[in-house]
Structure 1
Amino acid sequence: MGLPVWFQVLGLVGTALTGAIASWKVIRDLIGQGRTSLRDEYRFAKEFFDAVGKPGLHPLAYDLGHKAIAGDAQIGAEEVAYLLSLPQPRAAIRTYIVARTLLQFHQTAVDSKISFKRSNGNPSRRRVKRGLFAVGYFATYMLGFSPIFLLLLDLLSGQMALGLFIVSAPTFFPTAFLCLRAATRIRRGEELLAMQSGRPAPGPLQLVR
């Protein structure tokens, strides 16, 4: 098998792997961890909320229980309790985990809310950023594969394309991933704020039991 054919195979495999990874992440976000894990989560959540409804629950158990519900030790108990009050609590928690670096949690005696940090507080600015990150993703993704594309168009020799791909892949693919992650975080944050807008009228912070 000649070198150009190997590059065609490499291009197809690389594209397939990229698509497979993206598809896996989407599927993971949509269906979670499977039926067995969901049953375990349900059992834990029910036992924990039953314990929260009774007096004498230790603050440590309260805090760790909420972190376990979220599956993230970096999220505070009150943040999780607030997310549980949203119309789609499971989706809200997953979305918050993805976008948390861009968001801030406010809690008062009357109500709580999540908002974007000041650097991303302007909707127009977020749209511009998201668009730039999307363009950056497609541009760097294409640049990473450009030696293969040029080879398939007979504009490069196999040896030159191989040498360029060895350089372009580690140079541009990590940047493409970072751009995609940044755009996704902004989008997830906006989705969470949309979920928040469907929350019932403000009131004392309470757990849904």
Structure 2
Amino acid sequence: MDVEQIIKIILALAAMAGIAKIIYEFSMGSRLRLKDDYRFAKEFLGDIEANPKLHHLVIERGYYAIAGTVSMKVSEIKYLISLSDAERRLKDYVLARRYVELVEASNKIDFRYKYKKHFSRVWRKALAILVYMVGCFLAFSPFLMIKSLGLEPKYLLLVLFTLPCFGFFAVDALRSFVKIARGEALVKEQQENSPLIFISKRP
């Protein structure tokens, strides 16, 4: 393996790390969006406190806007914003909903039955990382392998196929890893912090 090949591998690894960072930051939300969310949440919660008789539809829409999705129950949103560091908890729950749920009987966030066992999450995270690494390698393979295989430069055009095709699987695998990891963090941190307010189970 010559120096040029080593440099290409290093650049590919750097690109993989950069993509991972971008995906993680995108999943957690931009700074500008966080500022807008803060202003809205402050105004909405202030309206509820000032006018307890707001129409229930207005209240529901407000909670959905805070969560950034209508696919959650209002009770879930209320519970999450009752926790310390509510902004992070809410984003983690939205991101990891495939793996976690609010158990109404205990009024706690827990893993869904399929993912309760630690090993079931470990092997999924390991598989996600493996798929991500293989996907990234295959996505950039024309740059890495063309010289080793003695192919002509025109074969670099294969990257137009490999990058979107295998890149999609790499990105999807990394997002799966992030979702599981954030779900684990949410459950763990929730156990260490009690809700700041009591959440009634009544509708």
* TM interval, short-chain normalised: 0.7 to 0.9
Partners of 1:151 and 1:25 in 2: CA distance: 28
After superposition, the Cα gap between the structure-2 partners of 1:30 and 1:174, relative to the gap in structure 1 and judged at 3 Å, is closer
Question: Which of these residues, 40, 45, 48, is aligned with residue 44 of structure 2?
Answer: 48
Q: CA deviation at 1:20?
A: 4.9
Q: Identify the residue that residue 141 of structure 2 maps to in structure 1.
A: 146
Q: TM-score, normalised by structure 1?
A: 0.75
What amino acid is the match of 2:21?
S
Aligned residue number for residue 64 of structure 1: 61
Alignment of 1:105-120 (within 5 A): 105-108=102-105, 111-120=106-115
Partner of 2:84: 87
The residue aligned with 2:4 is none
Q: CA deviation at 1:43?
A: 3.6
- Residue ranges of structure 2 left out of the alignment (5+ in a row): 1-6
Quote the Cα distance in structure 2 between the aligned partners of 1:89 and 1:199. 11
Say whether 1:77 aligns with 2:71: no
Structure 1 Cα separation of the partners of residues 135 and 108 of structure 2: 36
Cα distance, 1:93 vs. partner? Answer: 1.1
**Identical columns (%):** 28
**8 Å contact from structure 2 (residues 24, 178) kept in 1:** no
Matched residue, 1:156:
150
How much does 1:51 deviate? 2.8
Q: CA RMSD in A?
A: 3.2
Confirm or deny that 1:124 pairs with 2:119. yes
Amino acid at match of 1:106: V
The answer to whether residue 194 in structure 2 is matched with residue 196 in structure 1 is: no
Give the counterpart letter for 1:186 in structure 2: I
